[in-house]
Amino acid sequence: MHLIALILVALVAVEHLYILVLEMFLWRTERTRRTFGVSAELAEQTVTMAGNQGLYNGFLAVGLIWGLIGQRQDVMTFFLICVIVAGLYGAATVSPRIALMQALPAGLALLAVWLT
């Protein structure tokens, strides 16, 4: 597999590990609230939900890492498509910015994986 494809997949995995940390452990912090556009009150009310979302992001990251370790194109393809679908859904329902931050990098990584 081409090194560029592996790097792009790794970047998407790292991004989702970062989101896991923000949503599971740092949800109530000012920086995280500002990143997600959430007030202190809403962060307090949604801390459990955010933790759950963070866990799902962690599963996406682990799946991508699994694909990287075995250099499994099928595994990377599956998890990148999951990231793209989640990113597009988030863009449609929460903020268009999510398409740029999550779906686009995953789409570029998927293209690179398929071209190798």
Residue 23: per-residue pLDDT: 98
Residue 77: per-residue pLDDT: 98
Measured distance CA(102)–CA(107) in Å, rounded: 9
Q: What type of residue sits at position 33?
A: R
Measured distance CA(81)–CA(49) in Å, rounded: 23
Measured distance CA(109)–CA(36) in Å, rounded: 24
pLDDT tens, position by position, 45-62: 999 999 999 999 999 999
Measured distance CA(46)–CA(36) in Å, rounded: 12
CB 57 within 8 A of CB 31: no
Overall average pLDDT of the 72-99 stretch = 97
Nearest to 64 by CA among 27, 29, 105: 105
pTM of the model: 0.94
Residue 104: per-residue pLDDT: 98
pLDDT tens, position by position, 3-49: 999 999 999 999 999 999 999 999 999 999 999 999 999 999 999 99
Residue 36: per-residue pLDDT: 94
Residue 4: per-residue pLDDT: 97
